[in-house]
Amino acid sequence: MKVLIPSPLRSYTQCSWVEARGATLGEVLEDLDRQFPGIRFRMIDEQERMRRHIRFFVNGTQTFDLANPLQPADELFIVQALSGG
Instruction: Identify the three-state secondary structure at position 9.
Output: helix
Fold designation for 2-80: Ubiquitin-like (UB roll) (3.10.20)
Element (H, E) at 35: helix 25-35
Q: Residue ranges per domain, the chain?
A: 2-80
Q: What is the pLDDT at residue 37?
A: 98
Can you name the residues that pair with 85 across neighbouring β-strands? Answer: none
pLDDT along the chain (85 residues), means of 10: 96 97 98 98 96 96 96 96 66
Amino acid letter for position 17: W
Sheet holding 75-80, edge to edge: 17-19, 2-4, 75-80, 54-58, 61-63
Q: How far is the C-alpha of 74 from the C-alpha of 50, rounded, in Å?
A: 20
Q: What is the pLDDT at residue 82?
A: 72
pTM score, whole prediction = 0.92
Q: What is the pLDDT at residue 62?
A: 97
Q: What is the pLDDT at residue 3?
A: 98
